[in-house]
Amino acid sequence: MSQRFTMTCLFWISFSCTLAFPSTGQVLLVKDGQPTAVIVTADAPTDTAKYAVRELVYHLQRATGARLEVVPESEAPSDVHTRVYIGETETASYNGIDVDRLPREAYAMKSVGNDLFIVGKESENDPLEENNPDVGTMFGVYEFIERYLGVRWLWPGDLGSYVPKSDTVELWTVDEIVPPSLDFRSIVWSRIRSIAIGGQKLSEEDERLGFSQKVAENYGQALQVLLRRHRMGGMDVKPPTGHAFSGWWKRYGKEHPEWFALRKDGTRGSTDPDSPDVPMCVSNEELQDFIVEQWDGKSVLRLGPVDRPGRCDCENCRAWDGPQPENPPWFAERMYGTDRRSQELFTGVTSDRYARFWKTIQEKAAKRNPHVVVSGSFIYENEFPAPITGIQLNKNIYAEFVQWQDPHLRWFPMPDEAFQWIKDQWIGWRETGMRMGYRPNYLHDGYVMPHFDTRQSGEFFKFAYDHGMEGARFDSLTGQWATQGLRLYLHLRLMCKPELSVDEIREEYFSAFGPAAETMEEYFDYWEDYAFDNRMRFIKLYWDVGWRYREYIKQAHIAFPPECFEPAEALLKKAMAEAGASPESEFGYRVWFIRTGLEHAKLAVKLAAIYDGNEEIPEDRAEEAKAALQELVKFRKEHENSYFSDLLHVTSF
């Protein structure tokens, strides 16, 4: 894992130039609202450098009202106080900034006299594409904007960018090289991305109930900008993961049934020849050899199990398991054998089995390529509890931690005992010596409701970072910015700067509400406390409805009865008065934005109450339901341009 660090000036070749202004060591971009600097690029700047410059000019102008001139290096004036060199330039190289020596995605920020250099690796690839690592210059500009302008990016669009006003922008000595703290940082946003970037069209139903096509495209593009401002990326070095054996039964089951899981009835595989999720008999040596033989010998070798619980019940596989607990933790009963999806297979914990499988394959594959990396893909389902037999792995084995299966472990906030237990499992897996990433699903939770957590989830993220996490990829970005925006902002900031405390990040978010900051903190605390105090009620409420995140709306009217909204509405009314009484101020607009999310949640609850958990509308309430749906859709159409909600996500359920 690459750690954030600062290199001293021993790295640099010292150089000073003669300037028309005396070299005071003060980098001064704007003074009393007037520009005192120019921005200098290479004579033929890359697309990355040009984009970074646009971002710097835009935010400086929003902060100060001053628009800095941009000039090519061959025309850089000598009669200005400060020259801000953005990207690879001859002057940067002359001052000892060796771009080739910079770590991937890193930036160098260095002051020389009154001038400032922000430099990183660049290319002509799309700077907004998270698989593109040649964005050090852009990341350096974003660091400058955050650190010296105090900008905070809360949600997509101009309103979500908090740019504090300032008459003067200055700094003194700076000399650092900083790579990302985490190797990879991502939140999946594939559905809206396919519209904004992939050119797909909304379905007729999605467009009728949510976003219009053009607004969906605009929102997705604004979201891509937001994610890059938070330095999401590094996906080019993330070890590939996935359910590697999905579909193998269809391909190999007829010829090699012995490669597949033994069921409790003595048969192997599945009665369905097309079943995609048949687990493997991982102790079978012929299967192991075949896995290595069909591997190309160069890429990462993926060994992720199928995407459902239940494992092989044969004697050899069972011999690889650790002993099963007589009394499993009350919050992990499904994980230890009661999951109804897997009763025809072995339902217990198979962590030691799969750790041994990964190690066995890695040792066999190393005979072809000693540098092979085996991706176990997911610490998940039957493999979630840490191994207990003392098995030792190594740095050529990688997998991602995914708390799932039991509802007590799947969502934040969770019971205190469960919270401590998942920490223990992380440590247990970490002590095997393997490499680990984080790949949770809990951001799915909450539908459009103000149901979120920052305390436990933030604490666990920092815990994982302190204990060897290489990177994080979340599934998924639901985009409920006006109800769950604090949670989303927290996770974006933690992936960018995991050294920040949860309280520091929360304070950043609330500062964007200006004089209403304290009341808005009370507002979000009210809802977070509501989630925490009702965590067991929510688990029970959704216990038998299937996947909670998919079926959430069916019970939303019970989870959030009408009376729970009243204290929150009173706080928003107070905040609006503090922010300027009307939404015509920047701070008032942001309070209005949050209120829009709450109104939308109430309308969703109103419709859910009419359905009352049913798939079909009760006949005697059909007209009432129709009116409630029309009211909900009308509200969405009136507010879609604010991006208060990813309405494409909303219409998915």
Cα of 239 vs its chain's centroid, Å: 16
Each residue of 230-250: pLDDT tens digit?
Answer: 999 999 999 999 999 999 999
CATH number at residue 159: 3.30.379.10
Structural domain includes residue 108 = yes
Does 337 or 38 have the greater pLDDT score?
38
CA angle 594, 518, 499 (to 5 degrees): 90
Range of the domain at 149: 9-179
Least confident of 43-47, 377-381, 618-622: 618-622
Could you tell me if 84 and 38 are in contact, meaning their C-beta atoms sit under 8 angstroms apart? yes
Residues 261 and 162 occupy one common structural domain: no
> How many CB atoms lie under 10 A from the CB of residue 270?
20
Who wins on pLDDT, 156 or 338? 156
Alpha-helical (H) ranges within 281-334 are 285-294, 315-319
Answer whether residue 277 is part of any domain. yes
User: What secondary structure, in 3-state letters, does 113-132 show?
Assistant: CCEEEEEECECCCCCCCCCC
What's the mean pLDDT in 421-435? 99
Q: Kindly state whether residues 162 and 282 are assigned to the same domain.
A: no
Q: Which residue, of 158, 179, 200, is where some domain finishes?
A: 179
The pLDDT of residue 123: 92
> What per-residue confidence (pLDDT) applies to 488?
99
Find out whether the peptide bond into 413 is cis, omega within 30 degrees of 0.
yes
Establish if 571 belongs to a structural domain: no
- Does residue 19 surpass a pLDDT of 50? no
Residues 6+ apart with CB under 8 A from 480: 446, 447, 448, 488, 597, 645, 646, 649
Which SS3 state, helix, strand or coil, does residue 491 take? helix
Dihedral sign of CA atoms 172, 173, 177, 183 in order: negative
Mean pLDDT for the stretch of residues 125-140: 97
Query: Which residue reads 């939770």 in tokens?
Result: 445
Q: pLDDT tens-digit profile of 473-514?
A: 999 999 999 999 999 999 999 999 999 999 999 999 999 999
User: Residues 210, 650: contact at Cβ < 8 Å?
Assistant: yes
Average pLDDT (134-142) is: 99
3-class secondary-structure state, position 462: helix
Q: What is the pLDDT of residues 29-63, one digit of tens each?
A: 999 999 999 999 999 999 999 999 999 999 999 99
Phi, psi of 55 (to 5 degrees): -65, -40
Calculate what percentage of the chain has a pLDDT beyond 90: 91
Residues 58 and 164 in one domain: yes
Residue 348 lies inside a defined structural domain of this protein: yes
- Does 291 share its domain with 399? yes
The last residue of one of the domains, among 407, 422, 438, is 438
Cα 106 from Cα 508, distance rounded (Å): 24
Query: What total number of domains does the chain contain?
Result: 2
The reply to whether 587 falls in a domain is no
Assess whether 259 and 169 both reside in one domain. no
pLDDT value of position 341: 80
The mean pLDDT of 3-28, rounded to a whole number, is 45
Over residues 295-317, mean pLDDT: 96
- The secondary structure element, H or E, covering residue 41 is strand 37-41
Structural tokens at position 623:
């007209």
pLDDT at 10 > cutoff 70: no
At residue 583, the pLDDT reads 59
Q: Do residue 308 and residue 420 come from a single domain?
A: yes
The predicted pLDDT at position 371 comes to: 97
Structure tokens at 94: 């002359």
Residues 265 and 175 reside in one and the same domain: no
| Amino acid at the residue 428 | G
Q: Say yes or no: 138 and 271 in one domain.
A: no
Residue 418 lies in a domain: yes
Picking from 438, 460, 489, the residue at the C-terminal end of a domain is: 438
N-term to C-term CA, the chain: 37
Residue 486 covered by a domain: no
The distance of Cα 254 from the centroid of its chain, to the nearest Å, equals 41
Residues 175 and 282 both lie in one domain: no
What backbone phi and psi angles, to 5 degrees, belong to 162?
-95, 115
- Whether the pLDDT of residue 7 is over 70: the answer is no
CA distance linking residue 537 with residue 540, whole number of Å: 5
- What is the rounded average pLDDT of the residues 66-80? 98
Q: What is the pLDDT of residue 20?
A: 39
Report the pLDDT value the prediction gives residue 6, as an integer from 0 to 100: 40
Could you write out the three-class secondary structure of 221-284?
HHHHHHHHHCCCECCCCCCCCCCCCCCHHHHHCCCCHHHECECCCCCECCCCCCCCCCCECCCC
Residue 237 domain flag? no
**What mean pLDDT is predicted for residues 455-466?**
99
Residues 410 and 264 in one domain: yes
Q: Is the pLDDT of residue 543 over 60?
A: yes
Residues 374 and 262 in one domain: yes
The residue ranking higher by pLDDT, 651 or 10, is 651
Radius of gyration, CA atoms only, the chain: 27
- Which residue type sits at 482? A
* Same-domain check for residues 18 and 109: yes
pLDDT at 335: 87
